[in-house]
Amino acid sequence: MNNQITVTSPLLPDLAEFTALLQEIWNSKWITNNGSFHRQLEKELAAYLKVPYISLFTNGTLPLITALQALRITGEVITTPYSFVATTHSLWWNGIKPVFVDVDPSTCGIDPTKIEAAITPKTTAIMPVHCYGKPCDVKAIQEIADKYGLKVIYDAAHAFGVEVDGESILNAGDLSTLSFHATKVYNTIEGGAMVMHDEKTKQRIDYLKNFGFANEVTVVAPGINSKMDEMRAAYGLLNLRQVDAAIDARRKVASAYREALRGLEGVTFFDDMPGVRHNYSYFPVFIDAKRFGKTRDQLYFEMKAANVLGRRYFYPLISEFSTYRSLPSATRENLPNAHRLAETVLCLPMHHDLTDHDIARVLTFFKK
Ligand code: T4K
């Protein structure tokens, strides 16, 4: 539909430039398995993201699953219910029991003050999420991990390019994973990556994403196939050149929303955090029905009827899905903040292509 405003829109490379790279791939006949575009994208992404090592994947779910395998995580893992289902599914696929801990409403990330109470002798790791690209309290989380000898794997699917005091948030913890899905700030259509601290781990991850092959005749582990192909790597190289401009355009949308919504009764939103380079991947607002005069769902459906498609990320909570709701940690009493956020959140349309007219259309639903 032409007049539809969607929650996001993919950053697309110039088609002629992409076609030229496709021609190169056609000429070379090397279309996957650590080809030259794959190697180049890893190099350029490591530099752009300010991380020492990165390994490309076919999506943002498989690096989560692989990270757990690589670190041999078992037993129980402490995680957040306020995320996309893939976070917890990655634990399930590894036969690990998720233990949900409530979130801090000021970041939507896991509340570090509630982690210790959830640790048992079976706990082996913490899997936090930099929700909406807002950095978790990585220092507090690391202190707990060090105290109890736990690994930390960050689901950084939303945190492309996010920095705190000039350092990439992706360097926190033992491993971090990214999603380059079409709906993300930076996309390779489908795609993802894992960030690690040292060359040995990078080597191991590269084996694991290629069935465990170390060479033609040696399989070092029961790996999986999650390699990014050459088409997507070439597409990713082109998108990397325009991602800063896209983030800048998003920043302007965020400013316009904030200016219009500030002081509006019953609507709260996040401001930039000091010292943080944000990527403006999402613009969540939280609706207090009594003060705003309508519920989040009334607003959501009203907008939808007018072709303005916000999304209720992340409602329902992961802990509410059938696979997880019988877990002892999945109760409402254990997760009051997460429930409140999930019931009041609406992510407004946020992408690089929104025009002033689009922004004004979104804001008509929030008249002061
Ligand atoms: N961890 C976290 C914290 C995540 O958020 C995600 C994924 C993952 C892990 C796993 O990463 P991946 O394995 O997916 O790489 C989307 C995405 O599919 C998913 O990647 C994302 N998180 C999640 C939060 O959102 P949907 O079901 O909301 O997408 P969909 O298809 O409804 O699209 C939303 C809007 O985007 C559409 O209304 C229009 C626009 N769009 C979408 C696509 C796919 C386009 O304009 N073009 C497109 O091609 O899940």
How does pLDDT run across 171-227, given as a tens digit for each residue? Answer: 999 999 999 999 999 999 999 999 999 999 999 999 999 999 999 999 999 999 999
Exposure on the CB side of residue 155, measured as CA atoms within 13 A: 31
CA 13, CA 245: separation in Å to the nearest integer?
A: 12
Q: Residue 281 C-alpha to ligand 1 middle, in angstroms? A: 12
Ligand 1 centroid distance, CA of 84 (Å): 9
Confidence (pLDDT) at 39: 98
Nearest CA to ligand 1 atom 15: 60
Q: H-type helices in 130-212, by residue range? A: 138-148, 199-208
Contacts of 15 (CB under 8 A, 6+ apart): none
CB 86 within 8 A of CB 61: yes
Indicate the pLDDT class of residue 367, thresholds 50, 70 and 90.
Answer: confident
One-letter amino acid at 35 equals G
Query: Residue 161 — pLDDT band, cuts 50, 70, 90?
Result: very high
* 330 closest CA partner among 97, 172, 146: 97
21: enclosing H helix or E strand: helix 15-28
Confidence of residue 284 (pLDDT cuts 50, 70, 90): very high
Any atom of ligand 1 within 6 Å of the Cβ of 181: yes
**What is the percent of the chain with per-residue pLDDT over 90, rounded to a whole number?**
99
Termini Cα distance of the chain = 29
Q: Residue 312, SS3?
A: coil
Residue range 303-316, pLDDT digits in tens: 999 999 999 999 99
Query: Could you give the CA distance from residue 177 to residue 241 in angstroms, rounded to a whole number?
Result: 21
pLDDT band at 145 (very low <50, low <70, confident <90, very high): very high
Residues 341/286, Cβ–Cβ less than 8 Å: yes
* Mean pLDDT for all residues in the chain: 97
* Integer Cα distance of 350 and 14 in angstroms: 21
- Whether 302 and 292 have beta carbons less than 8 Å apart is answered as no
Q: How far apart are CA 274 and CA 356, in angstroms?
A: 27
Q: Is the pLDDT of residue 168 over 90?
A: yes
pLDDT number for residue 304: 98
189 lines ligand 1 (CB under 6 A): no
d(CA 232, ligand 1 centre) in Å: 17
User: pLDDT band at residue 73, thresholds of 50, 70 and 90?
Assistant: very high
Residue 21 has pLDDT above 80, yes or no: yes
Indicate if the pLDDT at residue 1 is higher than 60: no
Task: Decide: 313 in ligand 1 pocket, CB within 6 A.
Answer: yes
The residue whose CA is least distant from atom 4 of ligand 1 is 84
The predicted structure's pLDDT at residue 368: 64
Does residue 361's CB lie within 6 angstroms of at least one atom of ligand 1?
no
Bridge partners, residue 284, by sequence: 347
**Spatial CB neighbours of 25, under 8 Å, sequence gap ≥ 6:** 31, 35, 37, 230, 231, 234
pLDDT at residue 50, as a whole number: 98
Distance from Cα 308 to the centre of ligand 1, integer Å:
17
